[in-house]
A and B are shown apart, each in its own frame.
Chain A
Amino acid sequence: MSAVADTHAQDHHHGPAKGFSRWLLTTNHKDIGTMYLIFSFAMFLLGGTMAMVIRAELFQPGLQIVQPEFFNQMTTMHGLIMVFGAVMPAFVGLANWMIPLMIGAPDMALPRMNNWSFWLLPCAFLILVSTLFMEGGAPNFGWTFYAPLSTTYGPPSTTFFIFAVHIMGISSIMGAINVIATILNLRAPGMTLMKMPLFVWTWLITAFLLIAVMPVLAGVVTMMLMDINFGTSFFDASGGGDPVLFQHVFWFFGHPEVYIMILPAFGAVSHIIPAFSRKPLFGYASMVYAVGAIALLSFVVWAHHMFTVGIPIAGQLFFMYATMLIAVPTGVKVFNWVATMFRGALSFEAPMLFAVAFVILFTIGGFSGLMLAIAPADFQYHDTYFVVAHFHYVLVPGAIFGIFASAYFWLPKWTGHMYDETLAKTHFWLSFIGMNLAFFPMHFLGLAGMPRRIPDYALQFADFNMVSSVGAFMFGATQLLFLFIVVKCIRGGKEAAAKPWDGAEGLEWTVASPAPYHTFVTPPEVK
């Protein structure tokens, strides 16, 4: 047991402090997990509001609601907030809540650092969002902030954007160190690595990815900072630099980042599908190896985002082959999930609905990913709405549905109440329909030749854009229902048993619902 965690547990033997200082000063993994989840949902709504502005402008051709400068700020902030503010903190929140419960630990290994890494996030996003009100506006160069658009031609607020990225990077790195220390040091006796729940495994690998690539992101924004303010020429051709170098460094971070946003969802779904199939997960070991393989491959595929920059043919071929290879371990995971469902005894409560939708729709995103990997075809797809469709298919029904599935799955454990199943199913079906309506037509738009990141478009794209906007509004509005369901569940509802799902497995179901403030003060024995 961690000496740090022990002392801490005794300090607060009587339970949580009252009032605001409980949340400001807490070192309890459940409190911090809750704060992460609330923060990420707030960011999800903020980023979603920006998406609504984008879709409203794209509802029909012509400029109606916003001007191009503001449109670019919206696309940029939507991307940054969703990636760094909504998806990543949500997974960190889930990790905080569930990893100690799943491995039989009393808390995270480094509770004070845990508090610190959370509170950095609101600071970072306060800075980022405040750029909207600065002279020259918020960053307007896309979430990928390619130089020299973001350096020589960036708005004055770029320096604040860089500062915000640094802070959120530090927060992520500290969170990752905490997860690694917790998993390596605080597992209950008898829980060997290959007995760890898959959510813990995927998070361990995600944490290593974070440690590997967040510093590279910090490095690339530092270079930008130096180019902007200190007269260096890392990315400026006029001083001997190379704008393409920016893209290499950025995507060296960026591609593993994509997996950081999906691997924990893989883990959560690997718990939910067996639970509602009432059948053990098929191929546990191959699941672990597949995640490992995906993580390793993610370091050697970055240039598939850059097929059109003029990489020589040998490079194109290498990155094309490496990218196609990723389909193999990803395929293994999908096959395993389907095999888990096969000949089970399935029931479809909200977590299972989201998990099944995850498998289907993520696979569709995977298919379009495979198509994008074919370098010659990518010359047609690149930077069109086909790409937008692709990554929204892996991120919305992938990461976000994974988070919803997890939330419904573990809400009874967090609150001690069952959520309203009818409302949750309504939430699912409206989200499912809205999401497909919003993003499926984008495939057609991209194939018909509509570039991404444009505030106005030619007339032949009008119909599908209108459909897409309607779907987006529907998906967006539905998320308020989720807020209502969660608030309702916190305030009351049917009492939840310690193990509310008959097929669920794992240590987290051995403690009472709601989980007491301090759990596993004496570690459980894993056979």
Chain B
Amino acid sequence: MRVHAQRAGALLGGLMFPAWSMADWTLNMTPGVTGTSNEIFSLHMIILWICVAIGVVVFGVMFWSIFAHRKSQGHKPANFHENTLVEILWTIIPFVILVVMAIPATATLVDMYDTTESDVDIKVTGYQWKWQYEYINEDFGYFSNLSTPREQINNRQAKGENYLLEVDNPLIIPVGKKVRFLLTANDVIHSWWVPDFGVKKDAIPGFINETWTRVDKPGTYRGQCTELCGKDHGFMPVVVKAVPEEEYNTWVAEQKVAAQKERELTQKDWTMAELMERGEKAYQTACAACHQADGSGAPPAFPALKGSPIATEDMAAHIDIVVNGKSGTAMQAFGGQLSEVDLAAVITYERNAWGNNTGEMVTPKEIFDYKNQQ
């Protein structure tokens, strides 16, 4: 009841105070920040103006007829119904316009397909519903999840500036360098799009695609998944931060250290409280989209965890399903996606949250051993 009342309140509030101040009335495509996106923008403007010009001529004649050749004005109809010369002309002229249009389009396309001589190679993998970025020459990688709180989506909290376009770990790229993206997907087809780069490419399971960009202006650029990929298709944004090269190099070094630290954390002795705290966070990013923040799930595709046998009975089965997934269902193998610490924390959290008071915990070290058991 209370939830409904809250929702109704939020809905009413939203209706009365829409986000006018945040919104804008952008009419056109933006030129973006890369050579490619600028070329696309100028192509877009050329073809738009050609269409406008043709429209003005055609609709001009039409409106003139509507205005001047009305029966109510006593206009007597002519009786012509063909004219070979005119008909040939209005076949040839559009054809010529199209040929003119095709030339710059072809040149841009050739340029977009030139992925050679790249400085940085990044593998982008689409998952339901997050992106994984792997710096394949540097040997580290991470997942990038939507960071907008569920409360904002469900109208229980005011929406932030970058509502639905913010992630926990953005992709970091150096400015002025040619970055090559290798795209694939884990489950269904996704599509990786950053409008400001003029880059959109499908990520297809089992296949690899490539594209590239070179960003000259540092900044944060936002895009979204553009291929329907299931329930949370609208909730897997792309955020790319372009930073100066030195900053990029420092960041890469830090990431390598952090990866090492994470491995060390696994060996630490964790308390129940620490695991629960970390587990709640990890649960919100990795699990809540399907199983819901309160563990109630969305049956039948996404079963409830609250009071479920998996989360309250055999611990080994619970670890197995989280680490190895369940094939044939939407349950992914999180063994490769989350660190040992996060896996232990999530499992501990699920066994003790929402009234699943089993009192049991599993440590990161146990998970590590489980994954490497002989």
Is any CB of A less than 8 Å from a CB of B in the complex? Answer: yes
Q: Is the CB of B106 within 8 A of A370?
A: no
Is B58 close to A, CB under 8 A?
A: yes
Is B40 close to A, CB under 8 A?
A: yes
Encode contact with B along A220-260: 1 for CB under 8 Å, 0 otherwise.
00000000000000000110001110000000000000000
CA of A277 to CA of B20, assembled, Å = 47
Picked from B26, B77, B82, B298, the residue with its CB within 8 Å of the CB of A283 is B82
Encode contact with A along B190-217: 1 for CB under 8 Å, 0 otherwise.
0101010011111011110110000000
Q: How large is the interface on A (under 10, 10 to 19, 20 to 34, 35 or more residues)?
A: 35 or more
Q: List 18 A-B contacts (CB under 8 A).
A: A61-B164, A64-B11, A149-B188, A153-B128, A286-B82, A310-B204, A324-B102, A328-B94, A332-B90, A341-B62, A344-B77, A370-B47, A371-B44, A379-B40, A456-B235, A459-B159, A463-B24, A463-B25
Is A69 close to B, CB under 8 A?
A: yes
Is A1 close to B, CB under 8 A?
A: no
Encode contact with B along A453-468: 1 for CB under 8 Å, 0 otherwise.
1111111111110100
Is A282 close to B, CB under 8 A?
A: yes
Number of interface residues of B (CB under 8 A): 107
The A interface, classified by DSSP as helix, strand, loop or mixed, is helix
Q: Is the CB of A69 within 8 A of B14?
A: no
Residue from A149, A363, A444, A457 having most chain B Cβ neighbours under 10 A: A149
Is A484 close to B, CB under 8 A?
A: no
Q: Is the CB of B102 within 8 A of A62?
A: no
Picked from A280, A344, A377, A455, the residue with its CB within 8 Å of the CB of B69 is A344
Picked from B78, B82, B98, the residue with its CB within 8 Å of the CB of A328 is B98
Asked, given contacts A69-B298, A338-B58, whether A332 binds B22 with beta carbons under 8 Å apart, the answer is no
Q: Is the CB of B202 within 8 A of A309?
A: yes
The B82-115 residues at the A interface (CB cut-off 8 A) are 82, 86-87, 90-91, 94-95, 98, 101-102, 105-106, 108-110, 112-113
Q: Is the CB of A244 within 8 A of B207?
A: yes
Is A376 close to B, CB under 8 A?
A: yes
Is B228 close to A, CB under 8 A?
A: yes
Q: Is the CB of A332 within 8 A of B62?
A: no
Q: Is the CB of A342 within 8 A of B61?
A: yes
CA of A459 to CA of B342, assembled, Å = 32
Q: Is the CB of A280 within 8 A of B81?
A: yes
Q: Is the CB of A149 within 8 A of B229?
A: yes
Encode contact with A along B42-82: 1 for CB under 8 Å, 0 otherwise.
01100110010011001101101110011110011111111
5 closest cross-chain pairs (CB), A and B: A237-B206, A454-B234, A367-B51, A459-B22, A310-B209
Is B336 close to A, CB under 8 A?
A: no
Q: Is the CB of A382 within 8 A of B200?
A: yes
Q: Is the CB of A447 within 8 A of B29?
A: yes
Is B233 close to A, CB under 8 A?
A: yes
Inside 8 A of A341's CB, which chain B residues have their CB?
62, 65-66, 69
Encode contact with B along A52-65: 1 for CB under 8 Å, 0 otherwise.
00000000111110
The A91-125 residues at the B interface (CB cut-off 8 A) are none
Q: Is the CB of B101 within 8 A of A346?
A: no
The A299-340 residues at the B interface (CB cut-off 8 A) are 308-310, 313, 316-317, 320-321, 324-325, 327-328, 331-332, 334-335, 338-340
Encode contact with B along A40-71: 1 for CB under 8 Å, 0 otherwise.
00000000000000000000111110011100
Question: Which residues of A are in contact with B by a Cβ distance under 8 Å?
Answer: 60-64, 67-69, 72, 135-136, 140-142, 146, 148-149, 152-153, 155, 237-238, 242-244, 277-286, 308-310, 313, 316-317, 320-321, 324-325, 327-328, 331-332, 334-335, 338-347, 356, 359-360, 363-364, 367, 370-371, 374-377, 379-380, 382-384, 444, 447-449, 451-464, 466
Asked, given contacts A328-B94, A379-B198, A383-B226, whether A346 binds B206 with beta carbons under 8 Å apart, the answer is no
CA of A221 to CA of B133, assembled, Å = 34
Q: Is the CB of B198 within 8 A of A153?
A: no
Q: Is the CB of B71 within 8 A of A345?
A: yes
Is B245 close to A, CB under 8 A?
A: no
Is B330 close to A, CB under 8 A?
A: yes
Is B258 close to A, CB under 8 A?
A: no
Cβ-closest chain B residue relative to A281: B81
Q: Is the CB of A371 within 8 A of B51?
A: yes
| Chain B min CB distance to A512 (Å) | 26
Cβ-closest chain B residue relative to A313: B113
CA of A382 to CA of B223, assembled, Å = 13
CA of A347 to CA of B86, assembled, Å = 26
Q: 10 other contacts beyond A62-B159, A237-B207, A457-B164, with CB at 8 A cut-off? A: A283-B81, A286-B87, A308-B226, A346-B65, A363-B59, A374-B105, A377-B44, A383-B226, A448-B30, A451-B226
